[in-house]
Structure 1
Amino acid sequence: MFRTRTPKAAAALLIVLAAALGACLLTPGRFTSSLDLRRDGTFRFAYQGEIHMLALTKLAQMGSKPKVFEPDTCYNDEAKERPCTAEELADQKKAFEERLKQSGPKDKAEAEQMKALLGGIDPSNPQAAEEMAARLRRQAGWKSVVYKGDGLFVVDYAIAGRLDHDFVFPTVERLPLANAFVQVSRRNDGTVRIDAPGFSAQSGAGNPMGMALAGMAGAMSKAGKGGKDGADLPGNPFGPFEGTFTLTTDGAIIANNTDEGPQPGTTGPMLTWAVNPRNPAPTALVRLGN
């Protein structure tokens, strides 16, 4: 039996790309970040450096359907490539024209879905990135937001407050799927749990960035694109990231996953994590109250 390649791999890739967009819209680049927790419940958080926004144009480049007919590869019973017959080419072209005819309404619906994910910002608008930057500048804490092109923002964020509620960074107005780089959760027993799922690419429960990257790498591998770890995907939407995350406190550090453990600092114990795709997401538990 002769076979032709079907678009299943490409379809699977599109599904994973869409999932990645929903789960991991923002990723860090090169940065420094710090969190200071005091026993009286006050805190200070800062993030200076790069933030990547998953570029929808790159998703389109990796997963878009061609507008011009391109024959699929034909195989023999031994799974080896062979020339397609005239009848097979005619069938492929007919199927392509049918898909193209039906794609108009579907493409429009997908564009509206993308717009909804971005809080009403149209990603096809050349001013979309600047509109997002302006939205961030309106929010408390965003001291500077500069768009550098290709989905890259350089930011200076700093905020202080009291932990009478949980804290998450970043949050973006009208962007429901903005994923967390850092989460600070206060418990009833006076302890505070710190998690930084956005500061790791390792897959695992609770880490949408790692799961999205792993899923994309697998889909791209099946589609014949990219390496096993996703690092050489054309236009890798996550980009390189590297930085440091430092926690200082005058409370008691109960648990953490740093290599060195608590180190003496000028204002109390200090934890420092080297952030890169190879290291696990930072996590710690600190007791502030009695």
Structure 2
Amino acid sequence: MIGGQGGLPGRRLAAAALAVVLGLMVSACLLLPGKFTSSLDLRKDGRFTYAYAGEIRLLALSKLAQGGGRKAFAPEACTDDEMKERPCTPAELAEQRRNWDESQRAAADKARKDAEGMKAVLGGIDPSSPQAAEELAARLRRQVGWRSVVYKGDGLYLVDFALSGRLDHDFAFPTIERFPMANAFVQLSRRADGSVRVDAPGFGPSSGTNPFAAMMGMGMGGGMTEAGDKEAAPPSPAEGTFTLTTDGVVLANNTDEGPQSYPAGQKLAWAVNTRSAGAPTALIRLGN
């Protein structure tokens, strides 16, 4: 039996574990694609070019934009013993006001703690700052590959990214300087046998079917307001195309039509929308 002095440390460990899990869930859907076009060219000698042009939404800033301001106190109706509405007494109004003030203080404290948590996830950027969106844009512009980053408001960025190199290491997009972690739209994983696995988890089914995204919405204040009003709908799901071209050997893929002829080899194409059955994936063998 666990009891006595063992209970408190156990609860503390459980709370710490929950905080870690929630942190991972937050990062699991921190970034969302919007309308986009994306392509990957993978040569059998290891050269590759990846490109993404379109929208990227930073969910933390989107939720902040939905937050709204402080609402004015509005007294609730008072009723008599027969549940008929009657004028509230001064004492009842004062009690309602005290309860409302306490709920406002609790909400402000939660918002402060949420902002501190998101600041850590965002690599030191304070999501409550008016300069947060542009600070992130400036950070991206410093990184290789980000040719254009324009903030459109409500957590939405319009970007143009392209990067070429040699695949002598794994690759993921996007990566952001000082972010402890960010969910990848596209991942390239090298295998010891010379093949490369291509996964595009960010281009999978809409976030409505993702339990991580649902919990993220709850954690950032999604759902219902204290007044019972329904909050703004989550961001639109991804909509675009992902195309892979290669002169390597296509060992596996989950496209509808399979490899298609292409002047420089073969082409795989995925349409990304609300009807997508799963995230794009392929296995390509490189080398001669």
Q: Name the TM-score, length of structure 1 as normaliser.
A: 0.74
Which has the higher Rg, Structure 1 or Structure 2? Answer: 2
1:142 to 122, 127, 146: 146
Is 1:130 paired with 2:137?
Answer: no
What is the CA distance between 1:56 and its match in structure 2?
Answer: 3.1
Q: 1:83 to 1:141 in 2, by over 3 A?
A: farther
Map 1:265-280 to 2 at 5 A: 265-279=262-276, 280=278
1:46 to 51, 67, 70: 51
What is the CA distance between 1:112 and its match in structure 2?
Answer: 1.9
Match of residue 229 from structure 1: none
Judge conservation of contact 1:55–1:237 (CA < 8 Å) in 2: no
Moved more, 113-122 or 41-50: 113-122
Percent identity between the two aligned chains: 59
Secondary structure of the corresponding residue to residue 220 of structure 1: coil
Match of residue 281 from structure 2: 283
Match of residue 197 from structure 1: 201
Q: 1:99 to 1:143 in 2, by over 3 A?
A: same
Is 1:35 paired with 2:58?
Answer: no
Q: Name the TM-score, length of structure 2 as normaliser.
A: 0.74
Is 1:159 paired with 2:163?
Answer: yes
Is 1:252 paired with 2:259?
Answer: no
Moved more, 253-262 or 82-91: 82-91
Secondary structure of the corresponding residue to residue 260 of structure 1: coil
Match of residue 239 from structure 1: 236
Supply the distance in 2 between the matched residues of 1:286 and 1:197 (Cα, whole angstroms). Answer: 17
Q: Which amino acid aligns with 1:124?
A: S
Is 1:113 paired with 2:110?
Answer: no
Judge conservation of contact 2:118–2:127 (CA < 8 Å) in 1: yes
Query: Any unmatched runs of 5+ in structure 2?
Result: 1-21
Q: CA RMSD in A?
A: 3.6
Q: 1:133 to 1:84 in 2, by over 3 A?
A: farther
Match of residue 223 from structure 2: 220
Judge conservation of contact 2:64–2:128 (CA < 8 Å) in 1: no
Aligned length: 257
* 1:223-254 deviations in Å (ceiling 9; x for gaps): 9776xxxxxx62x3432431110001111111
Q: Which amino acid aligns with 1:252?
A: V
Supply the distance in 1 between the matched residues of 2:225 and 2:130 (Cα, whole angstroms). Answer: 33
Q: 1:59 to 1:73 in 2, by over 3 A?
A: farther
What is the CA distance between 1:222 and its match in structure 2?
Answer: 11
Q: Which amino acid aligns with 1:281?
A: A
What is the CA distance between 1:190 and its match in structure 2?
Answer: 1.1
Query: Any unmatched runs of 5+ in structure 1?
Result: 1-16, 75-80, 227-232
